Structure formats: C-alpha cells, structure tokens
Amino acid sequence: MKKNDSFELEITDLSDDGAGIGRREGYVWFVKDTVPGDYVEAAVTKEKKNYGFARLVRVITPSPDRTDPACPIARQCGGCQLQAMNYAAQLRFKERKVLGNLRRIGGFEIGEDKTGQDKTGGTASAVTVEPVIGMEHPFRYRNKAQYPIGKNKDGRIIAGFYAGRTHSIIACTDCLLGCTENRSVLECIIGWMTEYGIEPYEEENGRGMVRHVLIRKGNASGQIMVCLVINAKKLPGAEALTEKLLLLNETFRKAGEPAVQITSISYNINQEATNVILGRELVNLYGPGYIEDSIRRLCVDPEDGSFTPAAEPPVRFRISPLAFYQVNPGQMERLYSTALEYAGLTGRETVWDVYCGIGTISLFLARHAKKVYGVEVIPQAIDNARENAIRNGFENVEFFVGKAEEVLPAWYEKTGENRREKIDVVVVDPPRKGCDEKCLETIVKLAPERIVYVSCDSATLARDLRFLCQNGYALRKVRACDMFGQTVHVETVCLLSKLKVDHHIEIELRMDELDLTSAESKATYDEIKSYVLEKYGLKVSQLYIAQVKRKCGIIERKNYNVSKKEDAKVPQCPPEKEAAIMDALKHFQMI
Ligand code: SAH
C-alpha cells in the first residue's frame, strides 16, 4: 500500500503508549485515537517490514468502550491518549499494562486470575495482584500545570500545549485535567505581557522572555503558586504582574471559594537552549516562596481494598516550585496509604525512604516508625523535607541530599560492620528511569525485611523487581493506582519480602516434637558454660556450644549461624574450647 491509501480494520488491542492495534493479513497496524473493539477506516502514514502506522479516518462501528472525548482538542494535544475510552476500560488497560510488563520484562508468572508465582529468583512464591485503585472523578485532578507560552499565526500571545510530538503550541488555557483557576491566571499573564510588550521565548533563535508558566495548587489549603520561567536574569514589569495576579484573588473569593488564593508568585531563570522546563535559580516576588498542602492517611479495607480516612491528623507540607510533588492529591493519599500498609510498620522499625522528594512518604511513615531516613537529589526539596518534619513535630527523621546511588552506599559503609544499624523496611519511589543498579545493590546489602516499591513506570519497575528477586527477595503484592486518568501512565505499588532460605534456615522445633533421649535435654547452655569455666578456666559462648553440639549431631534451632552466606563471617570455635565443650557434653551425658 502507498501513503494515504485507506483500508478498513478491526482494532483488537492497545499498545503501551495508547495506540490502537489491528491485524490485517498477518501485518500489524498501529492506529492512534482508536479503541479496542472499534471497526475503523484508517489511512497509511508509514510502513515498516512487519508493522505500519495509520491514522484514523473515521469510526465505522464504535467499540462499546468508546466515549466522546470531553476535551475539544484531545486529538491534537496528544496529552490524553485515552480520552476516547471510557474510564472502566482505561483502568483495565492500565492493569494489563502493569501485569504485561511484569511478565515480559520481569519474568514473573502472573495468571489471568491475578495470582501468580515469582520464579525469577528460583524460589516460587505467591504474588497477589490487588484491585487497581481508580479515581472517582477522572478529570480536573491535576494540582500542577506547566503551560508553554508562544505566539499564534496572527502574532497573538498564547498559552497552551505542544501538539503531540511537536514544538508547535495549540492555544488552550483550560486543560480539563487541571484546576479551573489556571485559565484566569494564564489570561492575566498574557494580558500583562501584551500591555508591557513582553515577548514569549522563541525556541528557534533563543530570543524573547517568557518560556513557561508553572501553576500549582494545594488541594487541601487552596493556596496557589504562580511561577514564570523566563529567559533572563530579571523580569521587567514584575511589580505590575504581581499586582494584577493578586487582584485575581478577589474573583476567586467571589467564586465562593474563600480559601482559594494566590499566595506565592516567583520567577525561575532558565537561559539554556533546552527542553527542560525549569532552571535552577528562583526569584521570589510575593509570598513565602512555597505553598502548603496536607495529606491524610486512609485505612485500606482488607476485604475490598477500599479507603476510609484514618483517625490521625493529616501531615502538612510546604512545597517549593522546584520540588517534586505528586500531581494527583486524591490518589496520592490512596497510594501512600497503600505503601504504608505494605510497609507493615509497628512503631519499632527503621526505614529508608529512597527518592524522598519533599519527604511526603517519609513523614507519612514517620508517625508509625522508630526512625526514617530519606534521600533526594534536589537540595530545595530536602530543605522542604526538613522544614516539613519540624512543622509536623517529627524528630525521628533524617534527610540526606544527593544521589541515592551515592548516598546510600556511603551511609552503608560509614555505619560500619559492627555499628551497622538494622534497616527493617526500604521504600523506593524513583523517577521514570527506575533505580540505579548501585542503589539496588545497596538495598540488598541493607537486607530489609520488606521493600515497598512505588513506581511511575512499570517497565523499569519490572526490571528492578527482577533484580531484587534474583537477590534474595520475593514479590508479594502488586497494586496499580491511577494517578493520571485519561493518559496511558500508571503508578504501581509493590511489596517484596526477604526470602529466609538464602540467609538462614529457621527451624523451630518444639521440645515435645523432638525425639530426645533423656540425656539430650539435660544441660542448659549456662550449665555447660559454668562447667567449662570451672574445670578449664575458659569462657565459651552460646554460639560455640551450639557449633559443637551440631558437630556431635545434636539438633539445634538452626538460626544461630548456619547461614550459607554468613558462614565465613561467623567466628568458629577454637579447638581448645571445642575439646572443653565436648568434655562438658560427655559429663552431662549428652553424647
Ligand atoms: N517520594 C516522593 C518523590 C518521588 S519522585 C513523592 O512521592 O513525592 C522521584 C524523586 O526522585 C524526585 O523528587 C527526584 O528529584 C528524585 N531523584 C531523581 N533522581 C535521583 C537520584 N539519582 N537520587 C536521589 N533522588 C533522585
């Protein structure tokens, strides 16, 4: 077929990036904007040897899962790959995506019944897939928006979105995923730019001033942060801008939401020729330089996985423009509550929160742990984390700035062989690229009982889980959480637990289960110790007695020192003491 030739096709599947898939005479077609179950007319855009791409011309028979996109520019924008699919079908797609990656990349065998076997480490163990956590209202959920600023064909300043995979901006000040105040803020900024002759940044030649507008809203506090990303050291007309933006607070108040207020205005300097949105430097124009939000803990119903608020005060957070903060506050509470439940804390545990951001998960855990350590690469986020800890009254948290793959190994070395602090739980929540292998290796060395892995990319998640499961851990639970409705992205939380077999064999035998000869139960460790001390003047440890007993074929609780890995490190009973212990065992008629 030639480019633009059209043909009919039944869509039967969806690729991970949300394109419909149809098969025709053994050849695979990817058709964007289609839904499994659609029968469509498509036109060729590109052909490869075994597969090709086509665009949707018209839907001949719609899928039962098809719905009308709520956003008029959904197809052009490309940000919401799944808007044409009803929400229940979106959730099914996301769960399938996670499980597919766990199978293909992770090597986990998870059946259609959502139970499975983790065989990656050679040890079969049961995996439970818990029901996907969906949203009640899958629109208007985002607390953060980053709008590029540019000009349209007529030379008018516009804010909007890059058209899918391009750098041309489609005008749109009211993305349906974002909050309703974004529009007023953007229109105010465009009005100010027009009035003061301030030009949008031009990517092609590096001229112009305003690159992006970042807007963040604290869901619980109603506080709004506005941050302009500019291509200069100073922002001309900054005072006027601040004044104009603050006037909006009147309209927000009138709209019947007294709590909704712009409380922070700043600009960020980014003079690099890059598509990274934010630069490093921030200049504050109004307010304290951060907004606040709070997160409640929810209880997870063990029967159906549903959530109800827990009877404890929410954790309050300060968020600076540069720090990462989850974009979906409602789902964030559910995600973190699930992570907390998986962590299985009783108040006695020492926990590492790796990739901790502003300490959201760390502080969420802190109330239920003895000690929480956090590590994060962005210094401002750690500043926030430390302030947040103080404000919430947590004294059992400590934060480190740096790369997890450097800070964690250094901490492990520094705590030293003998002083090594036992880590009970490690929580990781890395960016899309997943964990650095050095970081994973150190986690394995820390040997926590449980690892809770929170991931926004199920492909790198599957890769990292495979590594952990090949190094002494077993995957126990998997739960997908929809943080990003209408898009193909999905968050996942997983629980892994340490396998016992590799480290030590725990066999607890009750005395009455043992076929003891009368002599075997005769002497306690203390009696043997006293006998050896009195007769030989030697001090012997319980460990040495256990070693000698085992040599003599006396069954022991096996968790003293039979670890394969640790054998080398465990001190072995010297011959002189061994002879003395043997004598004691004979004396007590145990051998
Ligand atoms: N747990 C936090 C943040 C998760 S996002 C929350 O839920 O809010 C991932 C975080 O990892 C970001 O804050 C990012 O700045 C940080 N990060 C990225 N690479 C890192 C690295 N190599 N070492 C430590 N932190 C890193």
The two three-digit tokens of residue 369, written as one number:
């742990």
- 246 pLDDT band, cuts 50/70/90, is very high
**Both structure tokens of 166:** 């391009």
Q: Compute the distance from residue 442 Cα to the ligand 1 centre, in Å.
A: 17
- Render pLDDT for 466-502 as a digit per residue (tens, 0 to 9): 999 999 999 999 999 999 999 999 999 999 999 975 4
Task: Report the range of poorest mean pLDDT among 291-295, 305-309, 393-397, 406-410.
Answer: 305-309
Question: Residue 519 has which token pair?
Answer: 């002599």
Residue 446, amino acid: L
Residue 378 CA: nearest ligand 1 atom is: 15
Task: Report the nearest atom of ligand 1 relative to the CA of 427.
Answer: 1
Going from the Cα of 432 to the center of ligand 1, the distance in angstroms, rounded, reads 10
**42 alpha carbon, distance to own chain's centre:** 37
Q: How confident is the model at residue 418, as a pLDDT? A: 64
Structure-token pair, residue 545: 């007695």
- Give the integer Cα–Cα distance in Å for 524 and 519: 12
Q: Residue 397: pLDDT above 90?
A: yes
H helices present in 447-522, as ranges? 458-469
Cα 493 from Cα 429, distance rounded (Å): 9
Split at pLDDT 50, 70, 90, the class of 110 is confident
Per-chain mean pLDDT for the chain: 89
Give the residue with greater pLDDT, 567 vs 319.
Answer: 319
In 306-457, alpha helices (H): 329-343, 360-366, 379-391, 404-414, 437-446
- Nearest ligand 1 atom to the CA of 336 is 7
Terminal CA-to-CA distance of the chain, rounded, Å?
A: 87
Q: Is the shortest distance between the CB of 361 and ligand 1 below 6 Å?
A: yes
The amino acid at 485: G
pLDDT tens-digit map of 248-261: 999 988 776 668 99
491 lines ligand 1 (CB under 6 A): no
| Percentage, residues of the chain above pLDDT 90 | 72
Residue 441 has pLDDT above 90, yes or no: yes
What pTM was computed for the model? 0.80
> In whole angstroms, what is the distance from residue 365 CA to residue 351 CA?
8
Separation of CA 549 and ligand 1 centre (Å): 51
3-state helix, strand, coil in the chain (%, to 5): 30, 25, 45
pLDDT in tens, 210-234: 999 999 999 999 999 999 999 999 9
Q: Which residues form the catalytic set? A: 456
Q: What is the DSSP string of 479-531?
A: EEE-SSTTSS--EEEEEEEE-STTT-------GGGS---GGGGS--HHHHHHH
Q: What is residue 539's three-state secondary structure?
A: coil
Task: Evaluate if residue 284 carries a pLDDT over 70.
Answer: yes
> How many CB atoms neighbour CB 468 within 10 A?
24
The residue nearest atom 12 of ligand 1, judged by CA position, is 357
Q: State the pLDDT confidence band at 516, using cuts at 50, 70 and 90.
A: very low
| CA-closest candidate to residue 118, choices 137, 132, 103 | 103
Q: Which residue has the higher pLDDT, 310 or 586?
A: 310
152-211: pLDDT as tens digits: 999 999 999 988 777 889 999 999 999 999 999 999 999 999 999 999 999 999 999 999
Contact 104, 462 (CB under 8 A): yes
